Chain A
Amino acid sequence: MANLTALKDGIVNSQVWKSVFRVGIPNTNRKRVLAVLGSLILHLHPVKVRRSGVRMSYTWCMGGTSFFLFLVETVTGLLLMFYYRPTIEYAFTDIMDLREQAPFGIMREMHRWGAHAMVIAVWLHMFRVFMTGSYKPPREFNWNVGVILLVLTLLLSFTGYLLPWDQLAIWAITVGSSMARASPGAGNEGPMSGLVKLGDIRLIHAGDDARFALIGGRSIGAATLLRFYVLHCVVIPLAAGFLMAIHFWRVRKDGGISGPL
């Protein structure tokens, strides 16, 4: 035991350890403050937090869970990108390869279950925030950022759904994207879009309406796959990451985890 303590002290007091963590073991209040302030990751948090805000029975830990699942999705998603090519020729066979050949291949499983879990976690987070009245002033704006993040979560999951390029994927996206066809004024089967005319020629048709813009063609095809891939891997994650930064920053600026005034 004495040896272990000596070993621990040796490590913590070594130049290597100190170069990374600056303060040693945070065993005094001063060091606890410095441990949080001195770390890029931890300084997302304030130095001190409300006791009620730390309680799991209050927060349900759902905001943290959503963020953690986003990180899980990022890491597993990056690994999947090594194996996957977003073209009609390869998409499905790459997934088959991944499933049958890659050793310990649970990355796709974790990515898919993580996506479902993230949708549920974000809903429960919104549910908790509503039930504690945490959207009330001064947190109105952050609630709005949260709603947009919820929509982005659904869009992330929706765009990812197409990528395996199996029957489940294309028909789910066919059903989901066919709604755009009915957009009022902008879809070729939507109300009022028949009124957009130049002489006798309808300007809104299947080749230029809202659905065409969404899927890049008249039916789900190669263009859709590439489009959804780019949206799924680059555009939406970047947007979500940016909004998350605002979301977390505002949590602190609006007075930390909510509590009674």
Chain B
Amino acid sequence: MDFIKDFVNVLSAGSISFLLLTSIFALIIYFNLLNGRIKSGGGIAFLGFGILLLVVGIFIRPLAYLGVAYLLILFGLAALGGRLWDTKVGLRLFVVGGLAFGLSMLDPNFFLIAAKPDNVPIVAMIFLLGFFTWLALRKAYLNDSQLALGGIPWEKTESDEKLFTWPDLVYTEMLCMILLTIVMIVWSVVLRAPLEEAANPTSSPNPAKAPWYFLGLQEMLVYFDPWLAGVVLPTLIIVGLMAIPYIDTNPKGNGYYSFRERKWEIGVFLYGFLVLWSFLIITGTFLRGPNWNFFGPYEFWDPNKLVPLVNVDLSELMWVKVLGTSLPKLWIIREIFGLALIGAYLGTPPVMAAGPFRRFYLKMGAARYYVGAYLFLIMMSLPIKMVLRWLFNLKYILHIQEIFFNV
């Protein structure tokens, strides 16, 4: 039991859990939905990826853990039998998840965090997100197999038929309201709202956490400065969400669940919503303890845990470690590598527009293409920065303290 707990603790560290989640996301989205089952031709590629991780893991320790966990989950999914979107398999997944959670609640450290009143809704949210992701992809899968056979999506068979609002819709709404009222009353009676001691501006708690829905942003502070993590990126999330209908000109998949007709849109959205936003909230809520240090789910939140501060800037890495000289005085020379790197990153859309993405560029038009491309690049800067931190302990790519401009 302790061995499993230690293993899960190690796996939960961002460097492993995030990559694991990303791999499984790719597995589920791009492999399983297309073929419906793990045990099929394409499965070899994913098996190969897992074995590759193990081999590389001989040299880079965390990747070995990643490989083991990845293969375990791969075999676990295959052992569930049938297609991932079958009701039977979904039920098994739910039972496995519920059992894992139930058993974990026996651990005192896990219980302490998961049963904190304000964290209860987030536990519920994890299960709800899992269920609804499964449901949406199941319906998409069923529709896709219909469309592949030249059929019509399931919604189409019923959309021309009209029902009277009274009684059909009104009664559904009333039943939902009654059910929700019962849920709210029971929840309110059973669980008391948290109330700590009176506000005291002179004694700050450790860790001091924002409300749970902003913990993804607070977690981003580990990788970015506040002006990016707390101001620019949240603004761009809102702008990006609002831009979706204007960037996405694909007329298909309007008004019914489907995946094959909208692979890119759904892939990008789900990656942002589940793997970035939700994962960071869950990490920030359950796995960040005193001093915002990382703690595994079964680990005691020790306020004296020592974490070495070994992060270095790109300028230091290049000038001092690679070139073996001291840092230049003038910031524009000192930061030349960071400026070049960011320039190259932000320079990709025009280059790609002239080259491999010419087709997209012509189809979408310049405005859509560039807005979409830059929003995507900015979204992807988060996982890129995370991986750079784990691999090279990189602190800032660009560190211009002269004008507080750090990236």
A contacts, CB < 8 Å to B: 26, 29, 32-33, 35-36, 42, 45-58, 60-61, 64-65, 68-69, 72, 88, 92, 95-96, 99, 106, 108-114, 116-117, 119-120, 124, 126-128, 130-137, 139-140, 143-144, 147, 150-151, 154, 157-158, 161, 164-172, 174-176, 178-184, 187, 189-195, 219-221, 258-261
Contacts and interface: CB of A to CB of B under 8 A. Distances in A.
Contacts of B196: 166-168
B159 A259 contact: yes
A45 B245 contact: no
A42 B170 contact: yes
A29 B214 CA distance: 49
Contacts of A130: 244, 266, 269
Interface centre among B162, B197, B248 (most CB of A within 10 A): B162
A48 B165 contact: yes
B193 A113 contact: yes
Contact of B255 (A119, A175, A260): A260
B158 A50 contact: yes
A140 B246 contact: yes
Given A147-B242, A171-B204, A48 B254 contact: no
Contact of A51 (B129, B159, B200, B205): B159
A15 to B, nearest CB: 23
B58 interface: no
B285 to A, nearest CB: 12
Contacts of B170: 36, 42, 45
A26 B211 contact: no
A29 to B, nearest CB: 7
A184 B204 CA distance: 27
Nearest to B181: A72
A172 B210 contact: yes
Given A57-B135, A127-B273, A157-B213, A179 B231 contact: yes
A65 B177 CA distance: 8
Interface residues of B, number: 94
Contact of B257 (A54, A112, A131, A182): A131
A46 B213 contact: no
B300 interface: no
B256 A32 contact: no
B132 A113 contact: no
B103 interface: no
Contact of B166 (A35, A53, A144, A190): A35
B361 to A, nearest CB: 21
A179 to B, nearest CB: 3
Interface of B is mostly: helix
B189 A106 contact: yes
Contacts of A184: 227, 231-232
Nearest to A120: B125
B172 interface: yes
B201 interface: yes
B241 interface: yes
Contact of A133 (B194, B213, B217, B262): B262
A183 B404 CA distance: 11
B6 interface: no
B191 interface: yes
Given A32-B167, A172-B208, A192-B405, A136 B214 contact: no
A250 to B, nearest CB: 13
A110 B166 CA distance: 30
B180 A68 contact: yes
B90 interface: no
B164 interface: yes
Given A48-B162, A51-B163, A174-B208, A169 B226 contact: no
B2 interface: no
The residue among A47, A56, A168, A219 with the most chain B CB atoms within 10 A of its own CB is: A168
B142 to A, nearest CB: 11
Contacts of A161: 211
Interface in B215-245: 217-218, 225-227, 229-232, 238, 241-242, 244-245
Contacts of B173: 64
B211 A176 contact: yes
B3 interface: no
Contacts of B194: 112, 168
Contact of B176 (A48, A61, A175): A61
Contacts of A60: 132, 135
A119 B35 CA distance: 35
B188 interface: yes
Given A175-B208, A192-B403, A52 B214 contact: no
A259 B155 contact: yes
B251 to A, nearest CB: 7
Contact of B159 (A140, A150, A191, A260): A260
A110 B188 contact: yes
B385 interface: no
Nearest to B124: A120
Given A110-B187, A126-B241, A187-B231, 11 more contacts: A42-B165, A42-B166, A45-B165, A72-B180, A116-B121, A133-B256, A135-B244, A135-B245, A154-B213, A175-B208, A260-B255
A155 to B, nearest CB: 11
Contacts of A46: 165
